[in-house]
Amino acid sequence: MIRKARLSVHTFGCKLNQYESALMTERLCEDFAVSYQSEKADVFLFNSCTVTGEAERKLRQRYRSLRKRNPDSLFVVTGCYSELSSEELQELGFDAVVKNKDKTTIETSLRLLLGNNGYHDASVADCPVSPGALEGRTRAYISVEDGCRNKCSYCRVRLARGSEIRSKPLTLVKREFENLISGGFKEVVITGLNICFYGEDNNSSLLDLLTTLEEIDGSWRIRLSSLHPAFVGSHFLEYIVGNPRFAQHLHLSLQSGSDRILSLMNRGYNRKSFLSLVDSARKLNPYIAVTTDIIAGFPSETEDDFYDTCSVVEEVAFLKTHIFRFSPRPGTEAAYMADQVPEQTKRERAKRLANLSTRSSLRYLTGSLGHEREVLVEKVSGVNSSGTDEFYVSHCTRTGAVGQFLRVVPEEICWGGVEQNGSFHLRSMVIR
């Protein structure tokens, strides 16, 4: 019996990359014994990210450390970082670079690279992951679109992924969705580079897609990944908010609360329109959770600009705020703008924002106490179960099986524990 080569997948960056890693895994599991993040393997596949300098630094660090322990293994890299800097990564020592567009035929690329070393005659084994499954057995992802025609001045990902919108045909998304539901998944996250553009190239729209999926039977819910604040219309909002098929959670990337900085970022909305969007959503559902991303220290950001951002965080009471220090990305407009903010100032602003975001999150959660929620149980450990509700809040309960929806009443806010990242969760009583 010829042994299967061990292949270790290392994913960096966004949900789209995670989805594509799962897809590649699905295609590779016939030829390889695939695992995620393993430190010993015959082949390492890095799915890279270029969103920040930090994401790239982490990849290089992981590569060096794994190469030391696996000097004879084959290292292959794909994803946005390698798309834009393939020479740099080959100089670092990667044996091969696979283009983003070839991720869907990754098994062909690896077969060519490995040649006839005997690994590929192994018998077909069960796939170690279900298609699209990324977070245990309850939540799965479907990527519906690639490409972004916005021109955010700091974004390097759009350079790697391109401005041409490529939407997955609606019938294909529906089939993928049905497969996941019949495979036992209870929550499906609709993701893509900018899902607001879904359908522009095939005479459809995100709303068309969601209304089609809504018809599918079963006990499940849909969560939407990031929505660009400039492209969320009132009709769309009215359809999503309050609809029990959809998580009552909007991820709206604010990036800055200063109109001057938003204009330099080329984001296409201003502070007032962002706040009015949140306000419209909260009129439809006062508890709707809003999460966001903020860049601290964009070129020329003054204390006044930063104050404007802080005041939006205070006003909205975001459930979660992902804070990034501005990172000048090669090839982007913002990297060459005047008045780059010193690193020390960026660090200090990011820290102040983190404190503010903790208070903001706490304020949102305080409003949840005593109100019924629906938790999807994701993990059982000893006598405790944990899961996420329709608002994207983590809960800990005393009963519940993985994959079960529970009606609960939150009783207490706790710090750390349920989530690895040490954010808040609610201790809740199960009522049915």
d(Cα 432, Cα 429) in Å, to the nearest integer? 9
How do beta strands 405-415 and 394-397 pair? unpaired
Least distance between ligand SF4 and beta carbon 350 (Å): 18
Q: Would you state the structure tokens that stand for residue 202, as one six-digit string?
A: 């095939």
Q: Does 251 bind ligand SF4 (CB under 6 A)?
A: no
Residue from 45, 152, 224, 406 binding ligand SF4 (CB under 6 A): 152
Strands (E), 116-158: 133-135, 139-146
- Contact stretch for ligand SF4 (CB under 6 A) within 154-162, 177-185, 212-220, 381-389: 154-162
Does 228 sit near ligand SF4 (CB under 6 A)?
Answer: yes
Q: Which lies closer to ligand SF4 via its Cβ, residue 233 or residue 416?
A: 233
Name the token pair of 237. 């909002």
Distance of CA 357 to the CA centre of its chain: 19
Q: Interacting stretch for ligand SF4, rule CB under 6 A, among 61-69, 153-161, 276-284, 415-423?
A: 153-161
Q: Is 263 in the site for ligand SF4 (CB under 6 A)?
A: no
**In whole angstroms, what is the distance from residue 232 CA to residue 244 CA?**
19
| Residue 261 touches ligand SF4, criterion: CB under 6 A | no
Among 43, 76, 155, 408, the residue binding ligand SF4 under the rule CB under 6 A is: 155
DSSP letter, residue 128? S
Minimum CB distance to ligand SF4 smaller for 256 or for 361: 256
Nearest to 156 by CA among 329, 16, 12, 293: 329
CA distance 362 to 40: 41
* Shortest reach from residue 194's CB to ligand SF4, in Å: 5
Could you say which of 23, 34, 98, 148 contacts ligand SF4 (CB under 6 A)? 148
- Give CA torsion, residues 327, 328, 333, 339, to 10 deg: 100
Residues 6 or more apart from 343 whose CB is under 8 A from it? 325
Q: Judged by CB under 6 A, which of 38, 150, 270, 300 binds ligand SF4?
A: 150
**Rounded to the nearest whole angstrom, what is the least distance from the CB of residue 208 to ligand SF4 in the complex?**
21
Asked if 23 is part of the footprint of ligand SF4 (rule: CB under 6 A), the reply reads no
CA distance 407 to 387: 12
Residue 253 CA to chain centroid, in angstroms? 12
Of the CA atoms within 13 Å of residue 250, those in its CB half-sphere come to: 31
Binding status of residue 193 toward ligand SF4 by CB under 6 A: yes
For residues 22 and 152, which CB has a smaller minimum distance to ligand SF4 in the complex? 152
Closer CB to ligand SF4, 148 or 356, in the complex: 148
Applying CB under 6 A, which of residues 157, 188, 206, 334 lies at the interface with ligand SF4?
157
**Does the protein bind ligand SF4 through residue 158 (CB under 6 A)?**
yes
Binding site for ligand SF4 (CB under 6 A): 148, 150, 152, 155, 157-158, 193-194, 228
